[in-house]
Amino acid sequence: MAQHNAKVLEKEAKLEADDLKHHDQLEKEKAKATSKSIELDQKHQAAELKHLTETKTKEAKETSERLKEEAKQEAKDIKHEQKMAAKGFK
């Protein structure tokens, strides 16, 4: 009888060890999947940030060029007005 109880306990211990091993494996896989998800999120955010930075830089350059052109035109207009005023027109 004691031998039978020992075998039953041994089987129970083995099953429990297998369950723990399986649970540990599932936890490792879950952690790996979470890590991969975080990595993908970070890559996506980095790509979004890069795109946004490039877009804003392009917009800033375009605005700067437009303002330069407007300033040049305004300077020409002022010169023209000054010439006309000097000639007695306005």
The percentage of the chain sitting over the pLDDT mark of 70, rounded to a whole number, equals 98
- Specify whether the backbone of 7 is left (phi greater than 0), alpha (psi in -120 to 50) or beta: alpha
- Specify whether the backbone of 12 is left (phi greater than 0), alpha (psi in -120 to 50) or beta: alpha
Q: Which domain holds residue 73?
A: 1-89
Average pLDDT over the chain reads 94
Q: 39 pLDDT exceeds 60?
A: yes
Q: 88 pLDDT exceeds 90?
A: no
In angstroms, the CA 74 to CA 81 distance is 10
75 CA to centre of own chain: 44
Q: 90 pLDDT exceeds 60?
A: no
- Domains held by the chain: number: 1
pLDDT tier for residue 60 given thresholds of 50, 70 and 90: very high
Q: 56 pLDDT exceeds 60?
A: yes
